[in-house]
Structure 1
Amino acid sequence: MSLDNVVEDIRDEARARAEEIKEAGEERAETIRSEAEAEAEALVEEREAEVERQLEREREQALSSAKLEAKQARLSARRDVLQRVREQVETELAELEGDRREELTKTLLDAASVEFEDEDEVLVYGRASDAGLLEDILSNYDGYELAGERDCLGGVVVEGTNSRVRVNNTFDSVLDTVWEDNLKEVSTRLFDDQ
């Protein structure tokens, strides 16, 4: 075998080996590329899923926020309506006249007088515009005298000079008690809550 033949055989072997290495490299590159594409696709799917979850959370938060705002608006509107009703009742109480005003005032004074049975002198305060009415009513009560004014819708504040007891039987105080005791029922009637 000549040297040329040996060189040619080595070259052929080298070419074959180079071709094998090239093919193996291409296969390895194809495998790496396929794996990279699969990883990229999985990563894209994972990111898309995360974005979708984030969007869903944001939608839920927006919906929850909108529901809360709507509820707060409803509650605010209800408070406004209840406040207007209360103001209307106060106005009607302040504007009561005649026998009805006298009857209510006397009833409130009678209820308060139970606390002052042992008192010699009892002071009564009332609304300035009710002074004449109170003078007439107090003329039937021994030891009771009109002592001054109170800023109220009507009714009486009564206190004994000896016992230091004070009873607030104004229309305002009665309204406060009735309002608190019946607020739920008033709300239910006004807003049809069941």
Structure 2
Amino acid sequence: MGLEAVVNEIREKGRREVEAIRAEGRADVEEILKDAQARAAGIKSSANEEAERTAAYLINQEASAANLVVKRQVLNAQKTLLDQVYSASLAAVGDLPAEFHEKALTELLKRAAKEIKKGVVHVNERDTAVVEKILGQTKSLSGYSVGKPAAIPGGIIVESIDGALQIDYSYRTFLDEIWESGLKDASEILFT
């Protein structure tokens, strides 16, 4: 064999080895690319799932916040309406005929006399003359006198002579008691 044949054989062997190395390199590159694409797809899928979870969470939070705002507005509107009903009720009782007030004041004074024998009666300005009349006509109320007018819509406030005891039989007090006990029923009637 000649030198040229040996050189050609070495060249041929080198070329085959280069081709084998290139083929092996291409296979490695394809394997690496496949792994990278699989990892990228996994990362993309995880990112999409995380984005969907985050979006769902944010939507739920916003919906909850909006529901709270609406509920607060509804409750405020209901409270405003109940306050108007309360005020209207108190005004309606104050607007009842004089005969009603005279009868009510007589009964309230008799009731107060069972607890306070002598005292000062405070009423609104409208009822001062009526109470003076009742006190003058009713012997069991002789220990009472009319005091300064009170800022009440009706009824009486009786104070003992020494000021140690006070009974509030004003219409507002009675309405407050009824209101407290009947508020749930009133709310159900108005808002259902």
Q: TM-score, normalised by structure 1?
A: 0.92
**Mean alpha-carbon deviation: is it higher for 46-55 or for 159-168?**
159-168
Structure 2 unpaired stretches of 5+: none
2-side partners of 1:58 and 1:10: how far apart?
70
**Mean alpha-carbon deviation: is it higher for 142-151 or for 159-168?**
159-168
**8 A contact 1:126–1:157 mirrored in 2:** yes
Give identity over the alignment, percent. Answer: 28
Structure 1 unpaired stretches of 5+: none
Q: Which residue of 1 aligns with 2:134?
A: 137
What letter matches 1:131 in structure 2?
T
Deviation of the 1:175 alpha carbon = 1.2
Any idea what SS the aligned residue of 1:149 has? coil
Any idea what SS the aligned residue of 1:167 has? strand
Q: Which residue of 2 aligns with 1:89?
A: 89
Q: Which residue of 2 aligns with 1:124?
A: 121
2-side partners of 1:80 and 1:169: how far apart?
26
Q: Which residue of 1 aligns with 2:60?
A: 60
Q: 1:177 to 1:54 in 2, by over 3 A?
A: same
Q: Which residue of 2 aligns with 1:147?
A: 147
Q: Deviations over 1:65-116 (max 9, x none)?
A: 2222221122112111101101101111222231111122222222222111
Any idea what SS the aligned residue of 1:123 has? strand
What letter matches 1:161 in structure 2?
I
Q: Which residue of 2 aligns with 1:161?
A: 161
Deviation of the 1:163 alpha carbon = 6.8
Q: Which residue of 1 aligns with 2:36?
A: 36
2-side partners of 1:56 and 1:13: how far apart?
63
